[in-house]
A and B are shown apart, each in its own frame.
Chain A
Amino acid sequence: MSEVPAIDQAIVALFSGLEGVEAENDELTDTDVRESIHLVLNYFFVSGKNDRPPPTAYGMFSPEGDAAVSAVVQKFLAAVGAIREIERYPLGQARLDLLQNPKLTTPQGRMYDEFIGHTDAPIAQQEIPAYLYEPDYDE
């Protein structure tokens, strides 16, 4: 656990929210979606960049699915950004470790890696991929 319960609560809410989205959208844990969520969290939370709006296309199969994922991610970014103690955790590895805490589980007992995968170190990411702003739905 982190030293700040509010941060842990925001992270649990993030993964629990994604688990809730999965109830209506089986594709939530598909690799494309998992990696999209990871890249967005890596860019805005782990790397602390804030030079553009969060993406809206996570690789879900429907606009509704993408909107649901986007809402959960944006709620997390807003919630954790409002916690003053987040400044105790420097950008980079410390932020990634907060997200990849195996002790924080969803109501179904699932861990972070089912929703965002795992990396040992933050991904060096200068840009957000363009496809995260360009939905691709089969007609």
Chain B
Amino acid sequence: MQRVEQEFVSAVPVFNLTVEHDRTYAVGKAGLLVHNSCPGKPVYAGVDAPTTNAGQVGSYTNTHASGATYSGKGTRARSQQSGRRQAQAHDDPHVATDFTPAENAREAFKQESRRIDANGGVRDPSNFNQIESPGRRFRIEDGELLE
């Protein structure tokens, strides 16, 4: 498998399963391996389990049930941890992730900044991001944005 694409359809109920102490299990006809939520914490399941190149840096935009978004720089695993955090902070389940790999950290920062801008910027109430990315400065330095 080289790449997984994901499409948001709608918010759906999720369940947290532990079978005989195993928290990782295969689901669906494809036998996709998934992991449950951590014990003792609210069930805000991830929606995009890391597959290949789990350590590949990139950028992501998580969409929550209310339609609010949160964009960031990091790996796919980060995008899921981030989704759980924002879900807990805003009581707003994480329902979809869009992830794009980047060549390096600087490009990932720039992607993150573009994503934040595309979702209204840090002052937009439907965007959970409150803090500008360093990618904004990198975009200015590289001539993409005017200061």
CB–CB B38/A118 < 8 A? no
Interface centre among B38, B105, B112, B134 (most CB of A within 10 A): B134
CB–CB A136/B38 < 8 A? yes
Tell me the bound Cα distance from A30 to B18 in angstroms.
Answer: 30
A31 within 8 Å of B (CB atoms): yes
CB–CB A139/B38 < 8 A? yes
**Segment at the A interface, from B3-11, B68-76, B92-100:** B68-76
CB–CB A32/B85 < 8 A? yes
Nearest Cβ in chain B — how far from A78, in angstroms?
24
CB–CB B131/A119 < 8 A? yes
- Contact A117-B132, Cβ < 8 Å, known A32-B78, A136-B41, A139-B23: yes
Total A-B residue contacts, Cβ distance less than 8 Å: 82
Bin the interface of chain A by size: 20 to 34
Interface centre among B74, B130, B131 (most CB of A within 10 A): B131
Tell me the bound Cα distance from A98 to B74 in angstroms.
Answer: 27
A113 within 8 Å of B (CB atoms): yes
CB–CB B74/A117 < 8 A? no
- Contact A130-B88, Cβ < 8 Å, known A34-B131, A113-B132, A138-B35: yes
CB–CB B81/A59 < 8 A? yes
Choice from B78, B89, B129 contacting A30 with Cβ under 8 Å: B78
B136 within 8 Å of A (CB atoms): yes
Residues of B within 8 A of A38 (CB): 131
Tell me the bound Cα distance from A59 to B83 in angstroms.
Answer: 12
Q: Mark B99-110, 1 if CB is under 8 A from A, else 0.
A: 000000100010
CB–CB B88/A117 < 8 A? no
Choice from B35, B57, B84, B133 contacting A117 with Cβ under 8 Å: B133
CB–CB B85/A119 < 8 A? no
B114 within 8 Å of A (CB atoms): no
Name which residue of chain B comes closest to A30, CB basis. Answer: B74
Residues of A within 8 A of B38 (CB): 136-137, 139
Tell me the bound Cα distance from A38 to B72 in angstroms.
Answer: 15
B77 within 8 Å of A (CB atoms): yes
Interface residues of A in 107-127 (CB under 8 A from B): 111, 113-114, 116-119, 123
Name which residue of chain B comes closest to A124, CB basis. Answer: B130
Q: Can you spell out 26 A-B residue pairs with CB atoms less than 8 angstroms apart?
A: A29-B73, A29-B109, A30-B72, A31-B74, A31-B82, A31-B129, A32-B74, A32-B78, A34-B131, A35-B129, A111-B137, A113-B132, A114-B109, A116-B131, A117-B132, A117-B133, A118-B132, A119-B131, A119-B132, A123-B131, A129-B85, A129-B89, A130-B88, A131-B89, A136-B81, A138-B35
